[in-house]
Structure 1
């Protein structure tokens, strides 16, 4: 079992590795969008994603500060006697006070998640344009997302995870029935199910975070930061996949075409599709 210092170093490496991967995902998104539409025609979900990127970066910085500087300490898991005897001039006192303050700022976690939900709602509005039933569901998402944004603090952890899970279910219910009823080949439908059904993975991370905080939060205050960063990363990557996939697909098709031409045969690039083609 790793020592506390080793665990802290591992998390520091993890948080910056995840941050780097997140940038590698969001960068191609804007490259593809700007190349196909031009900067002046970017949509609201692109603006929300930029804001989510900034907030996610701030969340990672807060997670780093909690572990690297405040040693995972906060104003909890202390008896009244321990609080009374803690020297205000001691390093531990400073670490606990600053750790508590940083944890509060670290609630940017739920801001990231709900900004990303907003990105999904705007994207689905564009994807389902002209389909009356789906348009109503997207408008419903605009209604339910803002009031379900709850602070991810210990007293409402259960409420937060329920709201988070329900909104994920609702957002996935917008595209998945359309994909299921489409006449796309099975392989293409499977790809779409994986891409649009990624909310199940996000829900799993959200539930794991809630369980970890409720069971071990009093003994390890930094635990919520660990799982918050991980869930934010998963949600961040999944939200960008529909925008990044066409770019990856085009590079893949060009690679197959190049291989096919060198081998004297025509490469099969039929696995590609336009995401907009699933509209009713």
Structure 2
């Protein structure tokens, strides 16, 4: 038991450290590219995620280590009757049941916030493509409604509410916060529904992007990594309901793991260019001569080329954020291969591998298509 408790503690703090490092690195990449003023809703949501995940880590530590995975489940009627209300085990079971309720709510908060961050990320990519706005807002409404439904299941699943930590008499399976069937199946079904919707939102956007096929497939695989959360959530539900003992311990640890997977997969698309840049020496990409473009050409409706006024130098993060995106990480009409009124720009540059690019600045932001 002591070694298992030690391993649980190590796991909790290792996963928390990795998650925090990923979100800090993501924030650094975004700030380097656009500064504080350019941060979007998805960036702020992920900052809130790391705070909520830290609170969930503390609750998991209390439930698994201090309470030893005990709650008001996994007891025979004789054990319940013989348990001293003034004893240590009784107090640990009551505390463990209460912590399970808090952990369940935090689990919903963290998981649903990562989905909201992904939708906000898609909104940022399609800021100049209005027809996708409705899909994203439908997703936000779906997330809000499903989270509220799951929260109400948690609150009203067992009435009166104090029965959630009642020891004797047996309050019934519906009042076991860790293993309640309504809670487990309700959360799982809503999680699958919302995750699938969030997964399908960016697919047509990425597929229409005017980039190489292998890049399209790579970006789609990065986004689809979020579906791995569904697999882990299904595994969590199976282990909780199929295990005869230690239901509270399984619920706490697997809720924490599911949230960890959600944090990693949500941030993976934004960190991929950085990882590729770090791996370029290993893959011998650093020896390639960077391609340069001194000016950018725009075509008006008459078909005559002309230079756009003003020039500036973009940082490597601006040009390396993601292939097919503009400097601030937004899809543009040019990247989707659609004709704009003023300009169509196709630089032909591999943004993920170009470190030194000079481009023209367009005073009108609608005409800035990089």
TM category, shorter: 0.7 to 0.9
Counterpart position of 1:214: 241
Per-residue deviation, 1:224 = 0.6
* Relative contact order, higher structure (CA 8 A, sep 6+): 1
Task: Please report the TM-score for the alignment, with normalisation by the length of structure 2.
Answer: 0.67
Q: 1:227 to 1:5 in 2, by over 3 A?
A: same
Per-residue deviation, 1:16 = 1.1
Confirm or deny: 8 A CA contact 1:120 1:239 kept in the other structure: yes
Counterpart position of 1:231: 258
Counterpart position of 2:126: 128
Question: 2 CA distance for matches of 1:256 and 1:267?
Answer: 15
Confirm or deny: 8 A CA contact 2:22 2:267 kept in the other structure: yes
Q: After alignment, is 64-73 or 127-136 more displaced?
A: 127-136
Counterpart position of 1:52: 49
Match status 1:199 vs 2:253: no
Confirm or deny: 8 A CA contact 1:202 1:235 kept in the other structure: yes
Aligned counterpart in structure 1 of residue 67 of structure 2, from 66, 70, 76: 70
Aligned-residue CA RMSD (Å): 2.5
Counting only pairs closer than 5 Å after superposition, residues 65-214 of structure 1 correspond to structure 2 as 65-107=62-104, 108-149=106-147, 150-151=150-151, 154=180, 155-214=182-241
**Gap runs ≥5 in structure 2:** 155-176, 292-319, 337-370
Aligned counterpart in structure 2 of residue 25 of structure 1, from 22, 28, 49: 22
Confirm or deny: 8 A CA contact 2:236 2:255 kept in the other structure: yes
Task: Please report the TM-score for the alignment, with normalisation by the length of structure 1.
Answer: 0.87
Per-residue deviation, 1:59 = 0.7
Per-residue deviation, 1:250 = 3.9
Aligned counterpart in structure 1 of residue 38 of structure 2, from 36, 41, 44: 41
Per-residue deviation, 1:134 = 1.9
Bigger-Rg structure (1/2): 2
